Structure 1
Amino acid sequence: MFSVARRAVVSRGPMRAFSTTSSRAADLAKLTLIGRLGKDPEVKRTKTDKEYVMYTVATTNYPSPPPNADGSRPDSKTTWHTVLSFNPSSNSYLSTLRKGSQVYVEANFELKEPDPSADPDTPQGQRQIFLRHETIRVLKPAPLTESSDKES
């Protein structure tokens, strides 16, 4: 019995790797968001005068959290995600999007640890999450309002 199983393992041939790139080059931290734009994307500039676009996506956890001991269910919580885009070709498209649009976003995820010498009440003294824009798809455009009709 063991000889048959051993023969089957040996006869499988050489095993192939999932990727030919080194494991370090294939490491990835990506976040996928499906939510609504919290406000119109903003065009900004870095200290070195490089243009970028910052936009915010609101997501809500569904289903809502498990019931409390008394049987009541807490409300679902909305989380706000700030995404930065440094790609000029994406930036021109992003600046046309409007608050309320439902979007599908893929972003690279980077976690910055706090500066130990900084005040914990400042952003430098807190853990920060940076989301770098990769792709966006509009699933449902924001409804047109009277004020947006007048602007066009």
Structure 2
Amino acid sequence: MFSLARRAAASRASTRTFTSSSVRASDLAKLILVGRLGKDPEVRKTRSDKEYISYTVATANYPPPPPNPDGTRPEAKSTWHTILSFNPSSNNYLRTLHKGSQVYVEANYELREPDPTADPDTPQGQRQIFLRHENIRVLRSAPNRSSSEDESV
């Protein structure tokens, strides 16, 4: 009887589980974007004077919307995503990128609920998606800018 209990315990110990960490430690919310930089990345500062980079990626909604009753198809619309990077080594690289570059971006995201006491017309009164930069790859560099464009920017 004792050997039967020992065998049952041994078989339970050899059974593998999917993960040994807690569920919370393995939860993840990640967004992958493939699009174009809407403008050159900008250097900004937090209230505590910590530097970060903000950049915008435009993506097209695909597939396009369904056809209208008259058979015409509405134009696909662009969606603009603002991503923030707080990593100094990534920020140095992000500063070298230019508007129009096609990029592959991985970002962690957090959905922030509106503040019930805030005015609904302000950002604090609206639901927001906070995107934190994780990784970026340039798929195609931006077309060369002429010197007149560089001077006007």
**TM class, shorter-length:** 0.7 to 0.9
Question: Could you give the per-residue CA deviations for residues 92-146 of structure 1, whole angstroms, max 9, x where no partner exists?
Answer: 0001100000000000010110000000001111111100000000000001121
Match for 1:105: what amino acid?
A: V
Cα–Cα, structure 1 residues 112 and 150, in superposed 2: closer, same or farther, change >3 Å? closer
Give the 5 Å matches for 1:78-93: 78-93=78-93
Cα–Cα, structure 1 residues 43 and 150, in superposed 2: closer, same or farther, change >3 Å? closer
Identify the residue that residue 146 of structure 2 maps to in structure 1.
Answer: 146
Give the 5 Å matches for 1:25-104: 25-104=25-104
SS at match of 1:130: strand
**1:63 positional shift:** 2.2
**TM-score in terms of structure 1 length:** 0.86
**Could you list the runs of 4 or more consecutive aligned residues of structure 1 that deviate by over 3 angstroms after TM superposition?**
148-151
1:108 aligns with 2:135: no
Q: Distance in 2 between matches of 1:99 and 1:20?
A: 44
**1:65 positional shift:** 1.2
**1:149 positional shift:** 9.3
Q: Distance in 1 between matches of 2:80 and 2:130?
A: 12
Q: Distance in 1 between matches of 2:55 and 2:96?
A: 12
Cα–Cα, structure 1 residues 48 and 14, in superposed 2: closer, same or farther, change >3 Å? same
**1:72 positional shift:** 1.3
Cα–Cα, structure 1 residues 49 and 105, in superposed 2: closer, same or farther, change >3 Å? same
SS at match of 2:59: strand
Q: Distance in 1 between matches of 2:15 and 2:69?
A: 51
Identify the residue that residue 10 of structure 2 maps to in structure 1.
Answer: none
SS at match of 2:26: coil
Match for 1:96: what amino acid?
A: T
What RMSD, in angstroms, separates the aligned Cα atoms of the two structures?
2.0
Match for 2:131: what amino acid?
A: L
Match for 2:78: what amino acid?
A: T
Q: Structure 2, unaligned stretches of length 5 or more? A: 1-12
**1:148 positional shift:** 7.9
Q: Distance in 2 between matches of 1:20 and 1:149?
A: 56
Question: Could you give the per-residue CA deviations for residues 42-69 of structure 1, whole angstroms, max 9, x where no partner exists?
Answer: 0000000000000000000122111122
**1:15 positional shift:** 4.7
Q: When you count helix as a share of all residues, which structure comes out higher? A: 2
Identify the residue that residue 133 of structure 2 maps to in structure 1.
Answer: 133
**1:16 positional shift:** 2.6
